[in-house]
Every structure is written in structure tokens, then in C-alpha cells.
Chain A
Amino acid sequence: MIEVAGAAHPVVGALVVVAVLALGAMAVAVTESVVTAHVAGSPLGSAWSRPWRRAALVLARPQPVTERPDTLLWVLAPAAYVGMAALGLTVLPLGTVWAVADVRTGIVVLGSAEVLAMVAVFLHGWAPNSPLPLVAGYRFVAAGLSFLLLSIFVLIAAALPAESMSFGRIVASQEDGAWNVLRQPLGLPLFLVVALAVSLHGPLDVADAGELAGGTTAEVSGPARLAWGFARRAMLTTYAVATAVVFLAGPAGPLLPGWAWLAVKSLAVVVVLVWIGQRTARVPVERFVRVAWTVLLPLSFLHLAIAGVVTLA
């Protein structure tokens, strides 16, 4: 089952995944705060501490009660969403020859995490038994069924030169040849769209607060809201790491150890994603679905065809 990287002890692997997601979510929150301050032209000094003060504020708010909610699913939805961020992270190489589980079916596992994350978001909107969160859940599924295909074609294209669906092999193929960002130039922008959409960030945050009077979180406040905020940033972390691994050769690089290169590259992707989120308007879901099926999906076919021809050449 293990191809490139050495197998981690399950306990070590679990601890690493939790640590990476926690640090990553904090990094995303601070980046959001800093980028917001920069864009608004306000002093950066308070930007570093703002996420913490904001988290404390959110935590202190009471949770409203809706009529006959599905309490179990409502509580479990953020946990399931974080769990899918963790599942995606397990198959990604986090060091030079080290992953929690660099399985042969890596890209399918990441795809599964993406699909089940969509289920978690839908249930997060369905469980409160309230109209606006429910509508937001449906809208996210409409967007999800569109961006899932994009991500699969982009990942298959990355697997072609590696001749393997393992992320370790995908990194190795980039060390041997050129980085995928150069070799498969259409892939990175397409995958950034997927990363923003699946982690409910920026212009593709079609299911969350600010959209349609509150989105799936319209009835969520207090600790549950903080958990959902953490979950979104953990998912963004996983997809930033995945982007760095698939297009920027992940842990590969001179002098510094592999994990440090991966951290630098992932952080750069986070900054790009947060920057896009701050500088672009929210996209109506109808328009996104139309663009996804008529423009982005044909582009991803083209991308896959080019990747195939280049691999054979």
C-alpha cells in the first residue's frame, strides 16, 4: 500500500495531522487579518492579535435555538468537515520522503475527502431546520457538483507524468522533470478555484456567512460558530498544501529540510488564496455553475489532453 514515503506510526501520524491543521488554521486566520489590514490601509500592528480577540468574542456569544433541529448532525457537521480536511492531509507528503500514509490511491482519497466535505456542508445547512441555511446547503451542492469534476481532471493530469496516483510519486516526477506549475500551466488556476470553493472562501464562499443572509451559518453562533470557522480554515490549509504538492513540488528544494520548503510554499498559496478572496466580489452560484460547466470544465479537458500529449512526447 505504501509506495514512496515511509509509513508513519498511526499515533505519530494523527498528532502531525492535528498539529498541521491547527497551525495552518491559525496561519490562515492571521493572513486574512493582515491582508485585510493591508487592503484597508489600516495599521498592521493590531492585525496580528485580531483573530484571537475575534475568536474570544465569537466564543462568548450564545447559540440561538431553532425549531426541531437535527442536533446530532448539526454538532457533527463541523467535525466531519475538519475530519475530511484531515483525511486529505494524510495522503500528502509533508516531508522529503515522509507522509502519514502515501497510498497508491492518493488523488482518489483527496477527491473522496472533497466529496464528503460537500456532504458535511450540506448537512450543516440542513440540520438547523431553517430556510436560509437549507437554501445555502443546496446552493453549495450545485457548486460542488461543478467544481468536483474540475479537481478530478486536474489531479488526473498531474498523475499522468508521475504514472501513479500517489502524491509522493507526483512530487518525485516534478523533481525529475519540471514543476507542474510550468509543465501544466492551466492546472494551477483551475485548482485554486477548487481550493476556494471547497474551503468556502472568497468569491466562491457560496454557502457561508455574508451570502444569502448568513448561509449555512445563519443560525450558528458561539462555540459552534468558532468550530465552523476553524473547520473552513483547516480545509483551506489542506488545499494549500495540496496545491503546493501538486504544482510546486511540495517538499522538494535545496538546503532547507523538506517540511520547511513545504511550509513556505503552502503559506505562499494561502497568501494568494486570501488575497484573491479579499480583492474579488462574491460570485452568484448560478453564474459560477454556468461558467464551471461551459468554460472551466472544457478548459480542464483541454488541460488533461495537453498533459497526456506532453507526457507521451
Chain B
Amino acid sequence: MTGTWVDIAFGVFAVAAAWFGWRVFVTDSMVRATFSLLASFLNVGAILVLLLAEYLGVAMFFMMGVEMTVMAIYMVAFMMNPAGLNPMQMVHQPRVAVVVGVLSTAGFGAVALAADLDTVAIVDPDGTIRALGHELMGSSMLVMQVVGVTLVATMVGAVVLSAASGRFGPADVGSVPPAIVPGDDTTRPGVDVGGDGGGHDHDHGHGGGAHGHDDGGDA
């Protein structure tokens, strides 16, 4: 009886994971795409829990939640789609992707259906898994730790270098905003062109501040 419920749950999670994965590429917004991908990962995590890889599954909920949130914010910040509600094309090289997708699905499907897979748990007769565990957690541990600390130091360094207020003073000293009309320096924000020069400043500030609005708001 429990086995039946596990089978049903597996089917539901698998279909949901595939469906949300498909949604990533048909939606027209970065935020929707990112959180559809998160939903797909959550379903994969649930399948891992069903497969008794409990920690891996739950860790996937945790890690993908943080990762996809950060990704959504970076996508909105760096893609030309403020607030994620304007339409945009979500696919690159669709023909190649379709061919690769069909081939890999067929390949994995053929392996799953045709291969003579073991139905009983492998007891690790050669001690391979145990040896791998000892290798990772034993003599190679120092290497892993050094790599980990190096990665953290790199991330902290990247944040320090990109921060607006660094230890050597503000990072934007000497930088100038680009001209609104390319090539015409008199339209550069902050440049006083005589008379009411502050007008450009104001216009620019307003345009920047209104990014949260949908474009439809102008109509």
C-alpha cells in the first residue's frame, strides 16, 4: 500500500517537475521563469526524498530557494526587463535545443527501459563507496577545506571590489553618467548647459525612479 502511494507521489512530482521546467521557457518574465525553475527543483527534491536520499532532497529545497531568489534579483537587475513584467524572448538557439532535448530524452529513456537494472540494493562488495568516502573525508579533507576557504575569500574579495563604498573611498569618484543623446555631451546628466541646467538632472532622476512601473503606465 505504501509502495503504491510512493509510486503515485513519484508520478505527480515527476510530471510537476517537467511541467514547471517547460514553464521556464514559455513565460515572458525573468521572475516567473526563475521561480518556475525553483518549483521544478522543489519537485526534484521531493523525488530525492522519496528515493530515501532525505538530506540531499531537503538540502535541495534550501539551496535552490536561496539560489533562485538571488538569481531572480540578478536577472531583473542585469536583463532589459525591469520588474520582470515586460515581455521578452526566453529561448536561445531553439532548434539545436529541441534536437539535443529529444536525443537526450530518448537516450536516457532507452537506458531506463532497456537496461537490466538491479532491483536489490547493492551491498558494495568491493568497498568502493567506503573507500571513496574515506578519501573525501580523510586525506583529501585538507584540500577540500583549502578550496572552500579560497572560494569564500574570492567571494568576499569580489564584494569588496564591487562595493560602492570601499576602504579606499567611494568607488564612483571620477565616473560620469553617459549622455542621454549619444554623442551630445550637453545632454549628459549633471552638466550645466546654462540657464535652467538642473532640468536634465530632474528628468534623469525621474526616469530612473520609475523603473518599478510597468511601461503600460505611460499609456
A interface vs B, CB < 8 Å?
A: 1, 67-68, 70, 103-105, 108-109, 111-112, 115-116, 118-119, 122-123, 126, 129-131, 134-135, 138, 141, 144-145, 148
Distance in angstroms from A88 CB to nearest chain B CB is 12
Q: Take A105-B55, A131-B213, A134-B83 as given contacts and tell me if A119 and B62 are in contact as well, using a CB distance cutoff of 8 Å.
A: no
Please state if A131 and B212 are interface contacts (CB–CB under 8 Å): yes
Partner of B212, one of A67, A70, A134, A148: A134
Q: Is B189 an interface residue (CB 8 A)?
A: no
Complex Cα spacing A145 to B155, Å = 15
Nearest residue in A to B67 (C-beta to C-beta)? Answer: A115
Which residues of chain B in 164-219 are interfacial with respect to chain A, using CB atoms and an 8 Å cutoff?
210, 212-214, 216-217
Partner of B61, one of A112, A131, A144: A112
Collect the chain A residues with CB atoms within 8 Å of residue B213's CB: 131
Q: A119-B69, A129-B214, A135-B212 are in contact. List 5 more A-B contacts (CB 8 A).
A: A1-B52, A70-B32, A105-B59, A111-B62, A129-B85
Distance in angstroms from A251 CB to nearest chain B CB is 23
Collect the chain B residues with CB atoms within 8 Å of residue A67's CB: 214, 216-217
Complex Cα spacing A234 to B142, Å = 44
Nearest residue in A to B217 (C-beta to C-beta)? Answer: A67
Interface string of B144-162 (1 = CB under 8 A from A): 0000000000000000000
Nearest residue in B to A134 (C-beta to C-beta)? Answer: B212
Which residues of chain B in 24-77 are interfacial with respect to chain A, using CB atoms and an 8 Å cutoff?
31-32, 35, 38, 42, 52, 54-55, 58-59, 61-62, 65-66, 68-70, 72-73
Collect the chain B residues with CB atoms within 8 Å of residue A109's CB: 58, 61
Complex Cα spacing A104 to B53, Å = 11
Partner of B70, one of A126, A131, A145: A145
Please state if A119 and B65 are interface contacts (CB–CB under 8 Å): yes
Partner of A115, one of B55, B62, B210: B62
Please state if B31 and A126 are interface contacts (CB–CB under 8 Å): yes
Distance in angstroms from A143 CB to nearest chain B CB is 12
Nearest residue in B to A118 (C-beta to C-beta)? Answer: B69
B interface vs A, CB < 8 Å?
A: 31-32, 35, 38, 42, 52, 54-55, 58-59, 61-62, 65-66, 68-70, 72-73, 83-85, 210, 212-214, 216-217
Please state if A68 and B214 are interface contacts (CB–CB under 8 Å): yes
A-B contact pairs, 14 of them (CB 8 A): A1-B52, A103-B54, A103-B58, A104-B55, A108-B58, A108-B62, A115-B65, A115-B69, A116-B42, A118-B65, A119-B68, A131-B212, A131-B213, A134-B212
SS class of chain A's interface: helix, strand, loop or mixed?
A: helix
Complex Cα spacing A111 to B58, Å = 9
Partner of A119, one of B38, B52, B85: B38
Partner of A123, one of B35, B42, B62: B35
Nearest residue in A to B5 (C-beta to C-beta)? Answer: A10
Distance in angstroms from A85 CB to nearest chain B CB is 15
Complex Cα spacing A122 to B84, Å = 13
Please state if B55 and A116 are interface contacts (CB–CB under 8 Å): no
Distance in angstroms from A132 CB to nearest chain B CB is 8
Distance in angstroms from B142 CB to nearest chain A CB is 19
Partner of A112, one of B58, B68, B83, B216: B58
Collect the chain A residues with CB atoms within 8 Å of residue B65's CB: 112, 115-116, 118-119
Q: Take A70-B32, A129-B214 as given contacts and tell me if A112 and B85 are in contact as well, using a CB distance cutoff of 8 Å.
A: no
Distance in angstroms from A306 CB to nearest chain B CB is 21
Complex Cα spacing A138 to B83, Å = 11
Q: Take A134-B83, A134-B212 as given contacts and tell me if A115 and B61 are in contact as well, using a CB distance cutoff of 8 Å.
A: yes
Complex Cα spacing A145 to B159, Å = 15
Nearest residue in B to A122 (C-beta to C-beta)? Answer: B69
